[in-house]
Structure 1
């Protein structure tokens, strides 16, 4: 069998070298290397989990992700003939990467925005792998895949008693995660750093080491590309810390005050940097809203436009949430791509209805668990911010930055116990120790 595979690859390689560009034959070298590296990483992280189920889920999800990446590439360069954002980043990187390999790294960042930073990131990738768009799609798809894994780890840290298997199946295998963040583009990069931020938040609320470093990296990674996403994330973090329950002991109160100080300081730094990236003198809801409105205005063009829900009154928020989370519905789909998206929306809507026993516990869990508060506040802010987007295709692409936090609500614990982050005190009489993923409870006398 190995000899047959080797012979087949040799024939394919000879054909690619003779008739195809580096985009194809270069990818034949790079893509197997990308798959091998990811396989090693999956094996290492899965080996730390009790049981084999996570390794099986991640391996299956990665294989599906690779298929989704090929489909994404086909749609971008065959269906749309390269008329995509990925091609812009590809052309900029293909022009610059040779000078980078010679050690001459020049880039004008004086007026850089998210698009210019994406060109910079793509150039860095091409400096390593060469100018192959096909392989570049696989590299960026890997970024997004590990962002999803970090979101799963954040859920495990924040909700040790939550339905982590349900959450893993949803975030790893939903078609949106397999398809949209699987190209050279902003969504793949940002999903990685949203995962970093989420894990940092979970560790921060649980009092675990490394939280501040993760939050700083997450703020940088999201802020250089989409500062308004970084602002939404850290505004949600600040809100969760503000309403976070604190023990009546002096140390608990001081810990909460110190945490607020850290969050306020981080938010101030992020606001200053985001204001520069957005080209405004100050960052506030008006400036963020204006940037989003400008982006939303550009979404009224194309073949998937619709009339967005008005938020002139609070009554519009529920309908906006339905639109941002679940639409298009099947009867609104104008092509096969949107039909698949609509079926996923129907699935999520049905799952949300069937998850009512979990959702009805949300108010109580929010009061006890700051990560759930963080997820709810971010989700609501995202819905309000993106309600003005008027194109189903663009909205579906942006939705992958919202879904991981919405899915937290569909995987809440069914019972009252174990809805606190790891490392926090669940009850004055209960002590929780974690060894190798297992939990021991002992009542104090």
Structure 2
């Protein structure tokens, strides 16, 4: 923290809250209005807390690599040679002679996915005078918008559960903390929320401002594609399943359902496979043939190299780069992402908080399973978005659980599934009780 943080941040906060109070009437009603400002506030607190903990507890970490050893360098250049700074922000991340003295100091310059966060932080820095705290606030605001969009999607269907959904989406401790500061996760979970919103309005409900929704959807897909492609890998098949079930459900004639169902299933399957193949074409790591090998490399790298200081290492079994070894670990991977660390695996205060959260989720899951609340999905008594959420949760839990092998890193990586899974559990329990 520097002196400018104490000067600039209050000004940024003042502007943010003025805009929030202006916007609130347009995006809330009498039920949701009470959560808008508190949800924004906890995101801002989470962003500031993240920076303080990284500074005084860890002493280093990604958030500082993005800002202090990334966007700050670009911001300093901006005041001397603005054109050169803009070339770095918007140009290709390749070394050129006249900018080498600056780009060589940027830690993640050669990593296109990660450098995107540096670019975004540098843009925010221009408006915050390079203040880490103020830029964190703007990241928190960006993260909040996506979660609020996600909340609106669920609230539209389950308005009577507005309070439980707010807790499940807006106030989850791990999402508030890891999804608020200058990190990849803040941008990706926000993009995920906006993509859900756009898909719901455009494809499922077929209502809303067409141009706005298309632009939102394109931006969200772009952000996820650039920063974390594997989120798209899990979203696309889940969304296609949602589209399929919701489409079939609208047909009242049983004979028509029998005729249409196989055709529609084949169509959505083709779209899902085509989309996944297209993603893989742009990054060979995510090509279908290479996914198993990518998971193996990532898991062992995080466990024993890049993530060895982020928390305790765990293992699920041996990965040899084949799909057979990958899918053998499916149950363990889903379990570790959703329900671990167990209380006896705790090694530090952050693992303790994660363990408490995971234990609560385990309790809700056991309740849903043994009291057969999940039957609401089978007999279609609840909206198809719950099926989407469960498929997304399980597939995403498998993806991060099998490719992380480190509790500290896993706590960050799994936050995109948390709002979906908790909302699904709440809806299943409350709908059955009703």
Q: Which range, TM-score by smaller chain?
A: 0.7 to 0.9
* Map of 1:113 onto structure 2: 112
> Is residue 304 of structure 1 aligned with residue 311 of structure 2?
yes
* Map of 1:128 onto structure 2: 127
| Aligned partners of 2:50 and 2:177 also within 8 Å | yes
User: Mind listing any 5+ residue stretches in structure 2 that lack a counterpart?
Assistant: 95-109, 318-323
Deviates more, 1:231-240 or 1:139-148: 231-240
5 Å matches for 1:241-390? 241-246=243-248, 247=251, 268=274, 271-276=277-282, 278-280=283-285, 283-284=287-288, 286-300=289-303, 301-302=308-309, 304-310=311-317, 312=325, 316-355=329-368, 359-364=373-378, 369-388=383-402, 389-390=404-405
> Is residue 405 of structure 1 aligned with residue 405 of structure 2?
no
Match of 2:72 among 94, 105, 130: 94
| Aligned partners of 1:64 and 1:178 also within 8 Å | yes
| Aligned partners of 1:359 and 1:409 also within 8 Å | no
5 Å matches for 1:151-170? 151-157=150-156, 159-160=157-158, 163-170=161-168
By how many angstroms is 1:194 displaced?
0.4
Match of 1:196 among 184, 190, 194: 194
Residues 398/162 of structure 1: CA separation in 2 closer, same or farther (3 Å cut): farther
User: Normalising to structure 1: TM-score of the pair?
Assistant: 0.76
SS at match of 1:163: helix
| Aligned partners of 1:366 and 1:372 also within 8 Å | no
User: Mind listing any 5+ residue stretches in structure 1 that lack a counterpart?
Assistant: 1-15, 419-445
By how many angstroms is 1:266 displaced?
8.1
Q: How many pairs does the alignment contain?
A: 391
**Aligned alpha-carbon RMSD (Å):** 3.5
By how many angstroms is 1:394 displaced?
0.9
SS at match of 2:316: coil
User: Normalising to structure 2: TM-score of the pair?
Assistant: 0.78
Q: Relative to total residues, which structure has the larger helix share, 1 or 2?
A: 2
**Structure-2 separation of matches of 1:62 and 1:358:** 36
Deviates more, 1:190-199 or 1:60-69: 60-69
> Is residue 45 of structure 1 aligned with residue 27 of structure 2?
yes
By how many angstroms is 1:258 displaced?
8.6
| Aligned partners of 1:170 and 1:407 also within 8 Å | yes
> Is residue 66 of structure 1 aligned with residue 44 of structure 2?
yes
Residues 314/275 of structure 1: CA separation in 2 closer, same or farther (3 Å cut): closer
